[in-house]
């Protein structure tokens, strides 16, 4: 029987090592690669064509949200299963909208993780019990009081990438080199992101990126 090919994405080496040991002890799972940030994950996903991508969210360079978008678009056969310390509703909504099929908090039991990998491989959504409970409540609320008004600004993939690098302290020249685009293009994406978000200073952009869990810092406390 063909093993489930899993790509591990987390910026902490010790976490990846622990996950690899756990998964490779299972006879039906094989780890086909490890990535320490979203950009490396996108490259490796195209190269290894994994069945499941185990994805962290807050990582340097490119966060898990943007990496999920790009992997789902470029490697449609790969199923993204989020594994993160953060489990508030905004994180879950963003990742599901980006194309993730499952969402686990890192405090979840090992048995849940193994079951989740097997379920999402088959195309079945899987959530940590605490997340699933909240999603059920939201569905009931939406049915009884109507869906919440969503006016969140939609950034393009490139705008999101530029915003994250700005939040991490990169200057325009460094961002241009990192993304292989011109400084003028960086300035354009940066300004468009600021206009969409109605944010007009770097500190505001940084706070926004942290609040969304794109970079580590003053993000909400893990549940």
For the stretch 140-186, pLDDT in tens is: 444 344 444 444 467 887 888 888 888 777 889 999 998 889 999 99
DSSP run (H or E) holding 105: strand 102-105
Given a contact cutoff of 8 angstroms between Cβ atoms, the answer to whether 68 and 40 are in contact is: no
- Flag whether pLDDT at 105 surpasses 70: yes
Confidence (pLDDT) at 145: 41
Residue pLDDT, tens place only, 53-85:
999 988 988 999 999 999 999 999 999 999 988
Confidence (pLDDT) at 37: 94
Query: Can you tell me the distance from the alpha carbon of 64 to that of 62, in angstroms, rounded to the nearest whole number?
Result: 7
Question: Domains of the chain: which residue ranges?
Answer: 4-143, 157-211
Structure tokens at 195: 């206009």
Given a contact cutoff of 8 angstroms between Cβ atoms, the answer to whether 38 and 62 are in contact is: yes
Given a contact cutoff of 8 angstroms between Cβ atoms, the answer to whether 36 and 59 are in contact is: yes
Distance of CA 70 to the CA centre of its chain: 10
160: nearest Cα among 86, 212, 93:
212
Mean pLDDT is highest, among 45-59, 110-124, 204-218, for: 45-59
Across 15-24, 148-157, 213-222, least confident range: 213-222
Query: Can you tell me the distance from the alpha carbon of 182 to that of 158, in angstroms, rounded to the nearest whole number?
Result: 13
81: nearest Cα among 48, 34, 128:
128
Question: Is domain 157-211 classified as CATH 1.10.10.10?
Answer: yes
**104 vs 49, 53, 157, 165, 168, CA distance in Å?**
22, 13, 24, 26, 26
Q: Classify domain 4-143 at the CATH topology level.
A: Rossmann fold (3.40.50)
């Amino acid at each position: 029987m063909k093993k489930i090919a899993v790509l591990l994405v987390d910026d902490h080496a010790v976490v990846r090592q622990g996950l690899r040991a756990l998964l490779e002890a299972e006879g039906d799972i094989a780890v086909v690669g490890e990535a320490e940030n979203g950009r490396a994950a996108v490259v490796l996903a195209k190269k290894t064509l994994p069945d499941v991508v185990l994805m962290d969210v807050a990582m340097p360079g490119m966060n898990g949200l943007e990496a999920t978008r790009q992997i789902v678009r470029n490697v449609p056969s790969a199923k993204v299963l989020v594994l993160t310390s953060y489990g508030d509703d905004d994180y879950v909504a963003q990742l599901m909208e980006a194309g993730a099929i499952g969402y686990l908090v890192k405090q979840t039991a090992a048995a849940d993780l193994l079951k989740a990998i097997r379920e999402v491989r088959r195309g079945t959504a899987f959530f940590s019990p605490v997340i699933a409970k909240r999603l059920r409540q939201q569905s009931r609320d939406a049915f009884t009081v109507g869906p919440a008004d969503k006016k969140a600004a939609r950034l393009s993939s490139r705008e999101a990438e530029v915003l994250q690098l700005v939040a991490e302290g990169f200057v325009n020249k460094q961002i241009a080199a990192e993304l292989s685009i011109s400084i003028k293009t960086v300035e354009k994406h940066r300004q468009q992101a600021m206009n969409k978000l109605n944010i007009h200073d770097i500190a505001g952009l940084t706070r926004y990126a942290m609040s969304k869990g794109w970079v580590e810092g003053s993000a909400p406390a893990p549940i």
